Amino acid sequence: MARFDRLEFGDTRDAKSADSQSNSHANDAAPADALPDVSFEALRNADLNRRKGLYENALRQYSRALELEKSLIAGWVGQLQMLVLIEEAPEADVWGRKALELFPGNGELLAARAQAVCRVGDIKQAHALADAAMAAPGRTAYRWQVRGEVLLANRQEMEQHCFSKARECDSDWLVSLETALIYLRYRFPAKATIAARAATELAPDQPYAWYVQGLSEMELDQSRLSRQCFERCLQLSPHHAEAKKRLLEVAKNRWSIGRLVRRVFRPR
């Protein structure tokens, strides 16, 4: 009977045939089993670009992954994260709303939208979304990270606990690095430096980690340390244009009234 065709009885052969049937229905032109490989390859490329700080490229790769497989939640979440990281939070908010229409109640998407809304400035809604993300089944580093960001944006003290929870969930250096970026976004350079140092300790061969640490040190007016970080970044990636630019900035480091004012009004 047709209504029992899709029930799972543990018969892998039948399940595979059903899967291939649905995939071929979705995309007649592509071979059924080749499709996920290509999309996961795109996701892998996106991740590689993300680890290099090439967020535009990463966004393109996430979109490519979704072109091949629209149900990849990682692709949707990645797009939202990249939009947020390239300072396009209002667009991320719109896109997050759309993604949540397709995957209602998905914890990662809720967290991503919370981050976008938080960056736009609607802290109240961001709180609600972050709470909803935490209430959704499963625990991931990203949800803890977003919760920490929302608390940080609201100048609440508990953000460190959330970031350490995020590190417990996932020991990847990228978690520490993105935590550092969050701290930098909200002008907490001291805490950003600690998180960036954790990232460089975990992955001393990653130029982008050194670059972010350099940025944090620079914000703290630690010229010597920031210069060292940018130099290490350039050792690992000699064509890193941003690091070269920052290194020049550090070299030309002179007294400025803007920096003085920033130092006086620094939150912590």
Partner 1 sequence: MPGSIACGRCGASLRLAATTIGIHPPRAGALTKQWRRWVPLRNRYFYAVRDLFRKPLLDVSAFFLRGVDLRELSSAVIVRMIVPGWAQIYRGQARRGQLFLFPWLVLLFLSVLCLGSTASGWCFGFLISLHAMSIVDLFARFEGVERGRRLVVCFLVLALVSMPYILVVTQSARVISVRQFLADAEPFSSGDVVLYRPRAYLNSGPQIGDVVIYRNRPYRTGGVNGLYVYDGEWVNRIVAAGGSHVVWKNSQLTVDGQPAEHLPLNASRLPAAMEVLVPADCFCILPTTIPNPGAPLDKQSSEALSIVDRTSILGKVIVRNYPPHRWWWLN
- Note the residue count of the chain: 268
Scan for tokens 């990270």, then name that residue: 145
Residues in contact with partner 1, shown as a per-residue x/- string from 30 to 69 under the rule CB under 8 A = -----------------------------x---x--xx--
- Choose which of 6, 44, 97, 259 interacts with partner 1 (CB under 8 A): 6
What is the 8-class DSSP label of residue 72? -
The minimum distance between CB 75 and partner 1, in angstroms, equals: 8
CB 196 within 8 A of CB 210: no
**Lookup: tokens for 80:** 């939202």
Determine the interface stretch with partner 1 among 77-85, 170-178, 216-224, 226-234 (rule: CB under 8 A). 77-85
CA distance 247 to 240: 11
Is position 106 an interface residue for partner 1 (rule: CB under 8 A)?
A: yes
Is residue 79 at the binding interface for partner 1, with CB under 8 A as the rule? yes
CB 226 within 8 A of CB 250: yes
Cβ atoms of 49 and 57 closer than 8 Å: yes
On whether the CB atoms of residues 84 and 58 are closer than 8 A, the answer is: no
C-beta of 117: minimal distance to partner 1 in Å? 9
Q: Does 92 bind partner 1 (CB under 8 A)?
A: yes
136 DSSP assignment: S
Q: Does 150 bind partner 1 (CB under 8 A)?
A: no
Contact residues for partner 1 (CB under 8 A)?
A: 2-3, 5-6, 22-23, 25-27, 59, 63, 66-67, 70-71, 75, 79-80, 83, 87-88, 90-92, 94-95, 102-106, 120-125, 153
